[in-house]
Structure 1
Amino acid sequence: MATNRSEKTVSVLKIAAFAALTPMLLAGCTSIKDRRGYVMDQALTTAITPGLDNRQSVEGTLGQPSFASQFGDPVYYYVSSTTEQRVFGQPEIEGHEVLKVAFDAAGNVSSVTTAGMDDVRDINPDGDKTPTLGRDRGFLEDLFGNIGAVGAGGMGGGVGGGTNGS
């Protein structure tokens, strides 16, 4: 009778341990969602009116842009991305939104447009090595290339004969 009771106790403890550990193990398999960049507020973005607002009012309403154009008419870009990362995986973009506020030469808002995931283009960077200017050298040539060049004539560091009268 005692062994039957101890077997039941062990069985109940195993079930309790399994029930306690299962949620913790499953919690480790959940994905991590992250918002990056500017957090879009629909009320604020619709408040920007072409012809009425200028750079100062846009910065006062939306804050500093994620980045601004460097050439041509001034354009402010407010970029927002939502990513999801699964355990041991790379983050994947779930949502991407860009608010583009263009200004005329006087600094007044000329247009406000938005772009989403449909406008995102995937690029595949070339995985080859970037060529460098000059001679292509191997590891050993880089390692031993300066042997003998140190202290060579015309490199300075010699004794006497300097222009300072020594």
Structure 2
Amino acid sequence: MTAHRSTFASLMVWVCALVFAPMLSGCSPQIIKHGHQFRQSDIQQIQPGMSQEQVKLQLGSPATTATVNNGQAYYYISSTMTQAAFLKEKEVDRKILAVYFNPLGTVEQVAHYGMKDGKVFDYISRTTPAPGGRDDGILKQLFRNLGTRQLYGE
């Protein structure tokens, strides 16, 4: 009888492990990378005096460009996000490689920026502002016109 009970208990442990292991593994965070992913050797080959075309051949098209001090600037942006199960993504690292060109179109300076160097802001806030710039609660919105005297559209 005890041999049967211990066999049943060990079988239940294995069944529980097989059922809960996939569920728990779904909770482990996923690492998601966006943007340009560079090797250090690619970045080290960018030297002052290179043309814009040589930089594009080495690194690819920039994520964005800008005009800075009468010259161009190329920005290569990469970010690393983590997401656990159904939770919202969280940015854990951001790297920006900025290549500044002089007015003649040759590399003047290469700079590296990270999350500590900039202000993090949300491009898409996923919220719609309320009319009039105020954020009324649901009850206030429902009962807003209760005290007004507008009978039959007069």
TM-score (norm 1): 0.67
Shift of 1:21: 2.5
Report how far residue 6 of structure 1 moved.
4.7
Does the 8 Å CA contact 2:71/2:105 hold for their aligned counterparts? no
In the aligned structure 1, how far is the partner of 2:63 from the partner of 2:113?
A: 15
Closer/same/farther in 2, CA of residues 32 and 112 from structure 1, 3 Å limit: same
Unaligned runs of at least 5 residues, structure 2:
133-154
Which of 51, 57, 70 matches 1:54?
51
Q: CA deviation at 1:16?
A: 1.4
TM superposition shift of 1:89: 1.1
Task: Spell out, residue by residue over 1:27-65, the C-alpha distance to the aligned partner (whole angstroms, 9 max, x if none).
Answer: 0110010110000221111111112x1111101111111
What is the distance in 2 between the residues matched to 1:97 and 1:130? 38
- Which one-letter code corresponds to 2:106 in the other structure? N
Aligned residues: 128
- Per the TM alignment, residue 127 of structure 1 is displaced from its structure 2 partner at its CA by 5.8
From the superposition, tell whether residues 103 and 94 of structure 1 become closer, same or farther in structure 2 (CA, over 3 Å): same
Match of 1:103 among 86, 93, 101: 101
Q: Indicate the RMSD between aligned Cα atoms, in angstroms.
A: 2.4
Partner letter of residue 12 of structure 1? Answer: S
User: For the structure 1 residues 101 and 130, does the alpha-carbon distance in structure 2 shift closer, same or farther, using more than 3 Å as the test?
Assistant: farther
Matches of 2:89 and 2:36, distance apart in 1: 18
Residue 62 of structure 2: aligned partner: 65
Matches within 5 A, 1:6-155: 6-51=4-49, 53-69=50-66, 72-123=70-121, 128-129=129-130
More strand by share: 2
Classify the secondary structure of the residue corresponding to 1:74: strand
What is the distance in 2 between the residues matched to 1:79 and 1:113?
12
Identity of matched residues, %: 26
Give the partner amino acid of 1:58: V
Q: Deviation string for 1:89-148 (max 9, x for gaps)? A: 1111111000000111211111110101111213376862477xxxxxxxxxxxxxxxxx
Displacement after TM superposition at 1:73 (Å): 2.0
Instruction: Find the structure with the greater CA-based Rg.
Output: 1
